[in-house]
Amino acid sequence: MPSTSTHSVLLHAKDIGLTINGQSILEQVNLTISAGEIVTIVGPNGAGKSSLIKTLIGIQKPTQGRIHRKPSLTIGYMPQKLSIDDSLPLDVYRLMTLTRTASLDDAVQALARTGVEHLIHRSVQNLSGGEFQRVMLARALLAKPDILVLDEPAQGVDFNGEVELYELIQKLRTELGCAIVMVSHDLHIVMAATDQVICLNKHICCSGHPESVSQHPEFTQLFGKEFAPALAVYTHEHDHTHDLGDCGGHHHD
């Protein structure tokens, strides 16, 4: 069983399944997120990570299963892909205060944490890819939500920025006490800064503490042995059997 901490449970997903146009995208996903926890979802492209996140925060309705959210849970979300139409004059400050209010000072401070405080009055449509990503991250921080949900936050962020970003996420948890759910492909860094890793490939292949997960055969099948230092093997509880080729491919049934 995933180690549910003693903290209060913010969100609990039970037997989630998602099928779009007859195509199964998620199957039998069970998940619990508690306050102050950093959960990282890893998995190959097309594994359903973004879909899972959207289902958890209520953008996408699951076709099976149920999701319990703590009443009046506030969510900060940073989508994987976002494009803002040119017809809308929108500067960075206004984007950051879109759904919540914040003073200019607070906004600058949040931007400073992601290294882009000089962009505060720039038009969002003119930002470079990495600048936009940093702004969106600062925006998510600013809201001080109960859960911060980040879909590939480091995508397009430069080398230094990426390192700083994961340090920042660590810090945030202690400062704000919020839970952080993120998707990332950067296994090096993820492994170092995560409480719970969920390895997804349509269903949850394995989950648990980073050290244990990295030893799991399905994990090494997906990501190679490079990330298998040495520690206890965590066994997940599926009611079906796995052969080795199972989770590595794209078609798991």
Partner 1 sequence: MIDLLWPALVAGSLISLLAGPLGSFLVWRKMAYFGETMAHSGLLGITLAVLLNWNITVGIALITSMLALLLFALQHQHRIPADTLLGIMSHGSLALGMLVLAFSTQIRTDLTGLLFGDLLSVGSSDLWLVAIIITIGLPLLITIWKPLLAITVNEDLAKAEGINTSLIKVVFLLLVALTIATAMKIVGVLLITALMIIPPAAARFIAKTPEQMGVIATIIAVLSVWLGISGSWQFDAPTGPAIVAMAVVFFVASVAVTNLKQKVN
Ligand X SMILES: Nc1ncnc2c1ncn2[C@@H]1O[C@H](COP(=O)(O)OP(=O)(O)OP(=O)(O)O)[C@@H](O)[C@H]1O
Residue 155 binds to its own copies (criterion: CB under 8 A): yes
| Angle at alpha carbon of residue 158, lines to 155 and 41, rounded to 5° | 30
Residue 19 binds to ligand X (criterion: CB under 6 A): no
10 vs 199 by CB, closer to its own copies: 199
Inter-axis angle of helices 129-142 and 104-113, to 10 degrees?
120
We find the least distance from the C-beta atom of residue 154 to ligand X, in angstroms, to be 12
- Distance, C-alpha 165 to centroid of its chain: 13
3-state helix, strand, coil in the chain (%, to 5): 35, 25, 40
Binding string, residues 23-62; x marks residues near ligand X by CB under 6 A: x-x-----------------x-xxxxxxx-----------
Sign of CA dihedral 18, 24, 26, 27: positive
> Which one among 4, 8, 19, 20 touches ligand X, defined by CB under 6 A?
20
Residue 104 binds to partner 1 (criterion: CB under 8 A): no
In whole angstroms, what is the distance from residue 14 CA to residue 152 CA? Answer: 24
Residue 86 binds to partner 1 (criterion: CB under 8 A): yes
26 vs 95 by CB, closer to partner 1: 95
Other Cβ atoms closer than 10 A to 154? 25
We find the least distance from the C-beta atom of residue 130 to its own copies, in angstroms, to be 3
Residue 160 binds to its own copies (criterion: CB under 8 A): yes
Residue 144 backbone class (left: φ over 0; alpha: ψ -120 to 50; beta: rest): left
43 vs 76 by CB, closer to its own copies: 43
Residue 127 binds to ligand X (criterion: CB under 6 A): yes
Interacting partner of 106 out of Zn ion, partner 1, ligand X, none (Cβ under 5 to 8 A depending on kind): none
Residue 126 binds to ligand X (criterion: CB under 6 A): yes
Residue 79 backbone class (left: φ over 0; alpha: ψ -120 to 50; beta: rest): beta
* Near its own copies in 214-243, by CB under 8 A: 222-224
In whole angstroms, what is the distance from residue 58 CA to residue 56 CA? Answer: 6
Contacts with ligand X by CB under 6 A lie at: 20-21, 23, 25, 43, 45-51, 80, 126-131, 156, 158
Contacts with Mg ion by CB under 5 A lie at: 49-50, 80, 128-129
